[in-house]
Structure 1
């Protein structure tokens, strides 16, 4: 089952935010994330807040869109009451789960609710995640007509035995079809890959990369497999049924990805993300890494506005109960102090191509930069200009670099 929510302060039943969230809001983008917590099957490695049909305990997929629409209306009222300025929505992202298990009309109605509540910026990025076996041309055309601009397909691998270990249900040969349909619908395309699956060789990974590149996507994400406690995969590894992912092999796979993607015209802009042009970077995810504002709609969704962060109750049935009672679905929240916000800026912004200003570092962190340059983890020329940017080796060891910059070891 999905991991537990953080422990923090209780959230008010009406969702009210302090007036402090309005300070400096004009300089922050505002996005909306809509979580669709449904999957046809639960993949063995997955720790996301998702539910199959037999886990819903009375909650109904068919009711979900109307519940999300109600939370959007609540969000608009809460933000108005807090004195936040009128800002158009710059990004909308439907994640999951598998959002495209719902009818296209449900996603459109949720998007229309966002449009009605806040207005959509003329150049807004509007994305949905999808599995290759969960959409067809008609579905994607309906999204394109409604104003969606982008689809992110969970390809994961092009190798059948790797997909089988991950318990993914699609045929890799379907990926070219759905990419072509998305193009016909006028949508930009991103492909998501996972590397380091038990039993996956470097040649397997090369095959997946080459297959993905051959589809000419605008954007590609490649994430190393992380074994999360409580998942089926973790239990299989503990019982010795499958091998623990090999960290050295995963490093080799990352380097191969960066090499092949660079040769194919993709530039890295975040540790695990590459795009063909700056315009095809995921603006929604960049808003997370840059600490902008977003409201997360749905069970277990997280939100952040002006230094206040909160998260919703996790189960769809509990979420439905809160929404139908007219209450905020927030389960808890925290207000970030200035030092916590600084630490998070270093942690998150160091992951992106633009890096972090040396001015965000403490004295010992600034002293550590010279050693990081000598170790080949930070770009020397950028550091001279006052910006800390990771090298390829630095990206492989990003967490260790962050610890050194934050004087933690």
Structure 2
């Protein structure tokens, strides 16, 4: 159910996040904060109308609408002052919300875009009721003309979300696959920028795209060799056509991570078991930096693991993770007490995580 919030600029982001999580409330409770917000909104309305107590005195004539707007543009509005004040930051100055310690969605919002679902129609309506009640408490209004309810599949942030999982938007993916090979470095960068948004659906995206990232302007001049770049371009387009449906992350299921690295790029895959088989939840990858290209392949796989732990932090924090690697180095780095060099840095970064390392052959 995607929502369109009509009064949610960036200053409301903290309020929306607090409303969705629900772990804390403002000091004095939601009713007290709502009253402060109502007073601030009334003060802003009076300022815009040019009729405030400060503007009318025995020795001063009432301000015109133009004068009020001009004065208002040079000062922060009462609502913005309240929202940006420590009082509104409930993570730092709030108190436990005894009435609703359980969050509504158990996650943060993406600015003003909210999407949720459930396995049954009744559960979906129950979540909707809790969400609207929380919006009412926080004085956040919803544009129902921009919202969709009870759909089997919805478009959300250029993705198709359904019960089966998450897939790239079909129209935008088709537009990418129909592009011809660019005639300049700028065109290649534009292609990679458009494709980067769907990199989560492409396994080994960085591996296939490395040849395109390394192109220079001189390569497009007469006599330049673009054969490797053209092969990478065609392979990436084919990968977009064959992009799998990523399964929704399930907090109740075990987490599996596979790692891969070569001379110029690294990639990692987050998987979970469904119907007896491991299905992808997220693909991660990047091109190696110049200094990292000299690393041992085992060290590159550690970098691949650190990448997926960073990208998927909110899903993986606090969970036991089963990691499949071609080398025994990762287990040694994670458990050894006698480390040196880069291994010490890797051990510090991996120390907060509970990893179960399993060595596998490359063909597996």
Q: TM-score, normalised by structure 2?
A: 0.24
Q: RCO greater where, 1 or 2, for CA within 8 Å and sep 6 or more?
A: 1
